[in-house]
Amino acid sequence: MKVSYADYIKKSDVAVLVAEAIFSKLAKKYPKLKVEECAKTMSGGTPLRNNNDYFGGSIPWIKSGELRDGYISRAEEYITERGLSNSSAKLHPTGTLLIAMYGATAGRTAITNIEAATNQAVCAVFPNKIVERDYLFWFFRSHRFRFIEISKGGAQPNISQNVIQQTELPVPPIKIQKEIIGILNNINNKKNYDASSIPSEFLDIVRTVLSSKNNVEAIDTELTHQLDLVKKLRQSFLQEAMQGKLTQQNKEDGNARDLLDRIKVEKAKSAKKEKPLPPIKEEEIPFEIPQNWVWCRLGEICQRIHYGFNASAKPEKRDVRLLRITDIQNNKVDWDSVPGCDYSDSNLENYLLKTNDIVIARTGGTIGKTFLVKEIPVKSLFASYLIRAIPNNNMCGEFLKYFMESPPYWKQLYDAAWGAGQPNVNGTSLSNLFVPFPPLSEQTRIVKKLDELMHLCDEMQSSIKNSQAQNEMLLQQVLREALAG
């Protein structure tokens, strides 16, 4: 995933940012050499995994994920002498500088406190007499974002050994290198910097970089706060809607009790018999609602609540799709990417999605999240980790969807799902949820009003995110200009 320079600044240690500022200043004063001109580089290797004689020995074998910009005193895995001699892995001496070339830690560094070998995703660097090892260590740490920029394009960053070798760095006299190392080590140990410890020639640019970091963090904190306020505003609107406080009451709407009775009569005519739901006791009612509303259970106003189809996804089959939890992102489905599945006629009868259906994630990180089916461009079943709630035809499906985004829904869901063991919701717990149920015309007015308010919230959220992007771009430009001189 691409990381912006502003994100990099926010996440970087103070010492790394000071190093970046100092190296940019040094580059204007001292000759620049390629890494290959002042150090030798060497990548490692991996013994054959299927040979048990190669692993479980006494030789530390370091992988790229173990490099975390510090010292390494032990490895996660060890190889044998046979594994070392029968692979391209090489045993490096204590004090070897390493840099990760692939994966999530690409560009990260480490120095070994032990003799160790590495895999092929790690480059060992052996400086010659004109450059100090720790000077290179700090240069690589400050250069990580540039390495990642060079490697962008793939799913994971990939820095080749050639890229490392061709990278240019300023090479001042050894005495100055040692001074720089001391300054940066001191800041790194204290996790802060003292302006009096920075030589005057570097002080202005260091202050510019650190000030920019502070600005990035301050803006990010404020905009994150604003986004949180918009989120709370949405929930406030939904809460008021469920309490009947968002729209004007109308006596001509009738009483929701009559609507609920009609729904019950219609459900009774269906062939499927359901276990009666327990009545709602007065002491269980969480808040007051208008007099012509009624409290009911979700199972009373849904034709059916049931689990999805247990089948394997078959991307090569396209005539009937299988909607999964992962296919639902931000209340939308990209139907072109939904895979197909094997099915029978009875499967179509039981699990075929229709407009106005609501599917609910019953487990995992998206537990409780819902999706209202408004249109289906292709025939689709729904997978077993989803539960379908089919609203009765005498009510408004959009109103029920808004209820399933509101605080009363989430409070009940959390109480049910996190009661014990692994969090999950089931058909029974969903059927028993309390729903504040208005007359049909009131449902329609609530949906219309919430559509308007949610649209305003969407616009505010989009505006905040645009401001965030613009501010980060501006700060990025300021930093780049300062570091470029």
Q: What are phi and psi of 443, to 5 degrees?
A: -55, -45
What is d(CA 176, CA 199) in angstroms, rounded to the nearest whole number? 11
Segment 155-168 mean pLDDT: 85
pLDDT of residue 271: 56
Q: Is 181 helix (H, G, I), strand (E, B) or coil?
A: helix
Residues 6+ apart with CB under 8 A from 253: 292, 438, 439, 440, 441, 442
More confident site: 420 or 32: 32
pLDDT digits (tens, 9 = 90+) for 121-155: 999 999 999 999 999 999 999 999 888 877 665 55
pLDDT of residue 280: 92
Per DSSP bridges, beta strands 117-118 and 55-62 are: parallel
Segment 349-372 mean pLDDT: 92
Q: What is the pTM of this model?
A: 0.73
Q: What are phi and psi of 317, to 5 degrees?
A: -95, 130
Please say if the pLDDT value at position 397 is more than 80. Answer: yes
pLDDT of residue 194: 80
Average pLDDT of the chain, as a whole number: 90
Classified by CATH at the fold level, domain 31-171 comes out as Adenine-n6-DNA-methyltransferase TaqI; Chain A, domain 2 (3.90.220)
Q: Is 279 helix (H, G, I), strand (E, B) or coil?
A: coil
**Structurally, what CATH architecture does the domain formed by 255-438 represent?**
Alpha-Beta Complex (3.90)
What residue ranges do the domains of the chain occupy?
31-171, 255-438
% of the chain with per-residue pLDDT over 90? 68
Taking CA atoms, 299 is separated from 64, 210, 264, 274, 470, in Å, by 53, 58, 10, 9, 48
pLDDT of residue 1: 46
Query: Which position has the token pair 């600005």?
Result: 215
Q: How many Å from the N-terminal Cα to the C-terminal Cα in the chain?
A: 29
pLDDT digits (tens, 9 = 90+) for 24-58: 999 999 999 999 999 999 999 999 999 999 999 99
Segment 263-277 mean pLDDT: 79
Segment 272-282 mean pLDDT: 83
Taking CA atoms, 15 is separated from 4, 62, 148, 163, 173, in Å, by 19, 25, 19, 24, 21
Name the band, by pLDDT with cuts 50, 70 and 90, for residue 352. Answer: very high
CB 90 within 8 A of CB 128: no
pLDDT of residue 422: 63
What is d(CA 345, CA 348) in angstroms, rounded to the nearest whole number? 5
More confident site: 259 or 214: 259
Segment 84-92 mean pLDDT: 95
